[in-house]
Structure 1
Amino acid sequence: MTESGAGPAVLVERTGAVGRLVLNRPDKSNALTFGDAQLLKNCLRELEEDDSIKVIVLKGRGRSFCSGHDFDDVVETYGLNRKDPNGRPYRMSVRERLVIDRRLAEEYMAFLYAQKPVIAQVQGAAVGFGMYLTELVDLVVCADDARFSHAEQRLGFAGNTWHLNMQILTYGPKKVREMLLLGSQFDGPEAVRIGLANISVPLDELEATTEKWAERVARNPKDALVTGKAVHNMAIDSLGGTQQFYRGALGHTLGTLLHFEPDEFNFFRERRDNGTKAAYRNRDATYDDDAVS
């Protein structure tokens, strides 16, 4: 778990029947470490088990909702910056990677299968981990200028993801292939149009709108909310929800063991040679339209 200048990476707040999970790394655009993701799941469980809470709002402090995983932590966790005893790049075993990736799968599953409704309040960037959260919660209220994308797919996944069945249900198979193969960015109104978000509003109306939606959801009886969510979860599971997350864990392990041809963009090599910011810049230049001659 990381600490920001204002406390832990995830804050838990309560107002009446509304609980809030607040991502608290604004200086990192709320990019989360692996430890932060585990903390987020634990905080979700805390609010699920609090009988006074009827609905949960997931939000981020600062300019962005969540820009994904903290890449420095990814490098450390997977041992990408280590050497073996012979001085060669360290290569983590498949079994070690699967332990990490199965834990990630369970953290994503926690939001899809939460016992109480979860509303995401999205401003700024929602990428990678942040994008997955918006796809897995019950409702999404976003700002018109929010920036959604599966840019993480440009790291060498190209459609290899955790919850493909939910994405196909949300967008349809052709749109999913477009989103995952191109990794293009889109805004709040487009998120509503394709079915990711429920409503898009000007940024200065975002919090008030989210709170209003949470208050409206909380008018339902406690037992009805929990029972309704349980039936929803059973429907998702009948479509292969849980199985897809475990397939996704294996897929992520395989996806992080790719072989790159000499002429293919390799983010990890770029980062090693030129630094993280340059690697992200060169990645997007490789995939964006204006980079194609």
Structure 2
Amino acid sequence: MSATIECTTADAVTWITLNRPEAMNALTWDQREEIIGILNSASADPDVRAVVITATGRGFCAGADLGGAPATGPRVPGDVARTIRLGAQRLIAAVMDCEKPVVAAVNGTAAGIGAHLAFACDLVLAAESARFIEVFARRGLVPDGGGAYLLPRLIGPQRAKELMFFGDALSSADAERLGLVNRTVPDGELRKTAQEWAARLANGPTRAIAMTKQLVNASLESDRATAFAAEATAQEINMTTADAQEGVASFKERRDPTYRGR
């Protein structure tokens, strides 16, 4: 890992820390690729059972920093769409498709793709000083990085349009009220709370949580019959796991289960 992305794993939790505070953790091309690689590795590693994404300094992520992108020649039609498809959208997809639960611990300003990085996570914790900004309209741009996909599904189309049309900064308390944030905590308690939530996830039935994540994400595009069929299939597959068998056995034996992520 580079010095600007810290990655540590302890107690089955992988921590991804954006460490470029002088730039409010604006994401470069190289950083984005590192994060995608870490998330893909976490999916495949049975010893990783939860992921936390956070940052150092005053900013969680101020958006994209294109200064680190590979050099290209004169722009031609299709270049911008390709850059977004292979860049910001891949990052958001990597979070949503990660087979482990991903927690965002938002320590400061999350703007543009930085806000969407947080909203793509399964659970979002925010420090009281955090802010969320849909900056695209301020710059005459269309939201990218999955924003127009994520926000309407989280808070409805009218609220999403308000945030995207005006680009006003949203406090962490207001973000929680709207449903973009699970919980707002004092700044000094953010990491502790993230550790507690991650530990609970890491001690849970990892495969069942992964399939639950897939079901919920897919349900927003599914009709009832498709969603019900996917649910039944997921439960059929899950019942073959050791954790499901442990969960049923512990219920019958009236004891706490011990899950191993298998």
Class of the TM-score when normalised by the shorter of the 2 chains: 0.7 to 0.9
Alignment match, 1:107: 91
**Offset at residue 140 of structure 1 (A):** 0.5
**Offset at residue 181 of structure 1 (A):** 0.6
Q: Does 1:134 align with 2:145?
A: no
Asked whether the 8 Å contact 2:100–2:206 carries over to 1, the reply is no
Alignment match, 1:229: 213
Give distance in 1, aligned partners of 2:18 and 2:77.
31
Secondary structure of the structure 2 residue equivalent to 1:58: strand
**Offset at residue 236 of structure 1 (A):** 4.2
Percentage of identical aligned residues: 29
- Which amino acid is 1:93 matched to? V
Larger mean CA deviation between 195-204 and 216-225 belongs to 216-225
Secondary structure of the structure 2 residue equivalent to 1:45: helix
Alignment match, 2:78: 95
> Which of 64, 69, 85 lines up with 1:69 in the alignment?
64
- Which amino acid is 1:231 matched to? L
Secondary structure of the structure 1 residue equivalent to 2:61: coil
Give distance in 2, aligned partners of 1:226 and 1:158.
32
Alignment match, 1:166: 150
**Shift in CA distance, 132/52, structure 1 to aligned 2, threshold 3 Å:** same
Give distance in 2, aligned partners of 1:25 and 1:221.
34
**Offset at residue 230 of structure 1 (A):** 2.5
Asked whether the 8 Å contact 1:57–1:214 carries over to 2, the reply is yes
Q: Does 1:208 align with 2:192?
A: yes
- What are the residue-to-residue correspondences of 1:184-263 with 2, within 5 Å? 184-238=168-222
Secondary structure of the structure 2 residue equivalent to 1:20: strand
For structure 2, the residue ranges without an aligned partner over 5 or more in a row are: 224-262
Q: For the aligned residues, what is the CA RMSD?
A: 2.1
Alignment match, 1:277: none
**Shift in CA distance, 62/21, structure 1 to aligned 2, threshold 3 Å:** same
**Offset at residue 77 of structure 1 (A):** 5.5
Give distance in 1, aligned partners of 2:72 and 2:221.
30
**Shift in CA distance, 161/115, structure 1 to aligned 2, threshold 3 Å:** closer
**Offset at residue 11 of structure 1 (A):** 1.9
Give distance in 2, aligned partners of 1:163 and 1:170.
10
Alignment match, 2:54: 59
TM-score, normalised to structure 1, is 0.70
Asked whether the 8 Å contact 1:113–1:233 carries over to 2, the reply is no
- Which amino acid is 1:36 matched to? Q
Give distance in 1, aligned partners of 2:209 and 2:163.
32
Asked whether the 8 Å contact 1:78–1:97 carries over to 2, the reply is no
Alignment match, 1:48: 43
Give distance in 2, aligned partners of 1:226 and 1:30.
29
> Which of 7, 11, 35 lines up with 1:12 in the alignment?
7
Give distance in 2, aligned partners of 1:196 and 1:224.
24
Give distance in 1, aligned partners of 2:105 and 2:208.
23
- Which amino acid is 1:103 matched to? L
**Offset at residue 78 of structure 1 (A):** 6.8
Larger mean CA deviation between 153-162 and 165-174 belongs to 153-162
Give distance in 2, aligned partners of 1:109 and 1:48.
13
TM-score, normalised to structure 2, is 0.78
Asked whether the 8 Å contact 1:127–1:152 carries over to 2, the reply is no
User: For 1:29-59, what per-residue CA distance to the aligned partner results, in whole angstroms no more than 9, with x for missing partners?
Assistant: 1111122111111111122222111110001
Asked whether the 8 Å contact 1:21–1:44 carries over to 2, the reply is no
Secondary structure of the structure 2 residue equivalent to 1:41: helix
Give distance in 2, aligned partners of 1:143 and 1:59.
11
For structure 1, the residue ranges without an aligned partner over 5 or more in a row are: 80-89, 240-293
**Shift in CA distance, 78/236, structure 1 to aligned 2, threshold 3 Å:** farther
